[in-house]
């Protein structure tokens, strides 16, 4: 975020792409477990670099008025793509039975698309503060970051089990899991524009709280009544939650930033969210494997319930 605001958001974005391409190359060419873990680390690092830069670029291009609707339009296009490819990839795997070959194809497609980024323009004021200044939090940042960080922890404890549990408990294969992911993306696509519109009309705070609350019925389904049908319903609910959360979160962080510090503001909240939520996956996995499979979901419900109160009390009315 600091590099993007101070020097060039375009080249910071290209740096993120480089790390993710490196990860794809590892997945395509190497089968060593240590290298595969390295690939996951590179992919995650690239994703974390990408997030604040992409959000800052889009926010600068759109501005405050109509931001929710603009994000709805943009993400609708992205989710439309995600409707098609999971199902296609699941069917392709059933034919070729070769993950390495699939990753090679993905790497080639990503490499072909990369030159498009060179046409991006760096707009806006450049960051003028000292590096240590980025670690200072304003009052409005604290009011947003605390609930947003707890929200990430609340979901991270169990969300990684969303597709693992049906595979283990219901014996579902890649083809069905691909269809489920398509349902998630289809719901995301069909509701994204409306979600963005609601952020502009109703307010980011209310929509953010609604997106977080949807996690409770999903976690209850996985704890007490997971069947192939309820699994598909839960993926649809998750897609709805994503479509509500993206424009609401973006609008909320926009309120806490200025044009010259926008990437840093997004980066700070992402850093806090990942710093505190990453152990949640380890804890959730331990609870799932060694104590009770429903415990990560029940703890997630307790955390979400607490966070809903904090969001209501602390979030600014935007």
Query: What was the pLDDT predicted at 305?
Result: 93
What range defines the domain where residue 168 resides?
2-121+128-314
Query: What was the pLDDT predicted at 86?
Result: 64
Looking at the structure of the chain, the number of domains it has is: 1
The pLDDT tens digits for 4-34 are 666 667 777 788 888 888 888 888 887 777 8
The CATH number of the domain where 267 resides is what? Answer: 1.20.1250.20
d(CA 284, CA 31): 27
Query: What was the pLDDT predicted at 309?
Result: 93
For residue 93, name the pLDDT band (cuts at 50, 70, 90): low
pLDDT top residue among 102 and 67: 102
pLDDT, average across residues 143-168:
83
What is the longest distance spanned by two Cα atoms in the chain?
Answer: 55
pLDDT, average across residues 42-70:
70
**Look-up: residue for tokens 């069909």?**
190
Q: Considering the entire predicted model, what is its pTM?
A: 0.71
pLDDT, average across residues 81-94:
68
For residue 79, name the pLDDT band (cuts at 50, 70, 90): low
Res. 125: pLDDT tops 70: no
pLDDT, average across residues 42-68:
70
What percentage of the chain exceeds 70 in pLDDT? 77
Res. 259: pLDDT tops 70: no
Of 263, 215, 243, 276, the residue nearest 69 (C-alpha): 243
- Provide DSSP, 222-235: HHH---HHHHHHHH
Q: What angle do CA 27, 31, 34 make, to 5 degrees?
A: 90
For residue 209, name the pLDDT band (cuts at 50, 70, 90): very high
Ranges of H-type helices in the chain = 2-6, 9-29, 33-62, 67-96, 99-113, 139-156, 164-169, 174-202, 204-213, 215-224, 228-255, 262-290, 295-314
For residue 269, name the pLDDT band (cuts at 50, 70, 90): confident
Query: What was the pLDDT predicted at 2?
Result: 63
Query: What was the pLDDT predicted at 258?
Result: 67
Query: What was the pLDDT predicted at 46?
Result: 80
pLDDT top residue among 237 and 272: 237
Looking at 53-57, 113-117, 124-128, 150-154, which range is the least confident one?
124-128
Mean pLDDT of the chain: 78
Query: What was the pLDDT predicted at 280?
Result: 78
Q: How many Cβ atoms from other residues are within 10 Å of residue 294's Cβ?
A: 18
Res. 260: pLDDT tops 70: no
Res. 272: pLDDT tops 70: yes
Res. 128: pLDDT tops 60: no
pLDDT, average across residues 140-164:
83
- Provide DSSP, 58-89: HHHHH-STTHHHHHHHHHHHHHHHHHHHHHHH
Read off the DSSP letter of residue 124: S
Query: What was the pLDDT predicted at 310?
Result: 92
**What tokens appear for 97 in the block?**
């039975």
pLDDT, average across residues 203-232:
89
């Amino acid at each position: 975020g600091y590099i993007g605001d101070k020097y060039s958001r375009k080249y910071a974005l290209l740096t993120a792409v480089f790390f993710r391409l490196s990860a794809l190359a590892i997945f395509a060419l190497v089968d060593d477990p240590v290298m595969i873990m390295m690939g996951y680390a590179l992919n995650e690092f690239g994703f974390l670099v990408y997030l604040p830069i992409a959000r800052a670029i889009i926010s600068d291009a759109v501005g405050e008025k109509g931001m929710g609707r603009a994000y709805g339009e943009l993400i609708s296009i992205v989710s439309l793509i995600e409707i098609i490819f999971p199902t296609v990839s699941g069917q392709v795997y059933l034919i070729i039975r070769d993950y390495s070959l699939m990753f090679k194809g993905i790497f080639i497609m990503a490499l072909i698309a990369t030159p498009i980024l060179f046409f991006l323009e760096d707009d806006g004021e450049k960051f003028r503060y000292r590096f240590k200044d980025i670690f200072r939090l304003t009052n409005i940042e604290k009011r947003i970051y605390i609930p947003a960080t707890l929200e990430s922890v609340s979901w991270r404890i169990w969300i990684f089990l969303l597709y693992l549990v049906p595979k283990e408990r219901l014996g579902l294969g890649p083809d069905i899991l691909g269809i489920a992911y398509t349902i998630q993306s289809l719901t995301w696509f069909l509701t994204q524009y409306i979600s963005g519109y609601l952020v502009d009309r109703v307010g980011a705070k209310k929509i953010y709280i609604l997106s977080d609350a949807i996690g409770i019925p999903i976690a209850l389904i996985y704890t007490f009544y997971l069947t192939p049908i309820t699994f598909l319903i839960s993926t649809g609910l998750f897609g709805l939650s994503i479509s509500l959360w993206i424009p609401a979160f973006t609008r909320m962080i926009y309120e806490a930033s200025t044009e010259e510090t926008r990437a840093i503001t997004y980066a700070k909240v992402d850093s806090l969210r990942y710093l505190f939520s990453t152990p949640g996956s380890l804890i959730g996995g331990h609870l799932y494997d060694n104590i009770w499979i429903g415990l990560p979901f029940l703890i997630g419900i307790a955390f979400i319930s607490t966070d809903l109160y904090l969001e209501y009390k602390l979030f600014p009315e935007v």
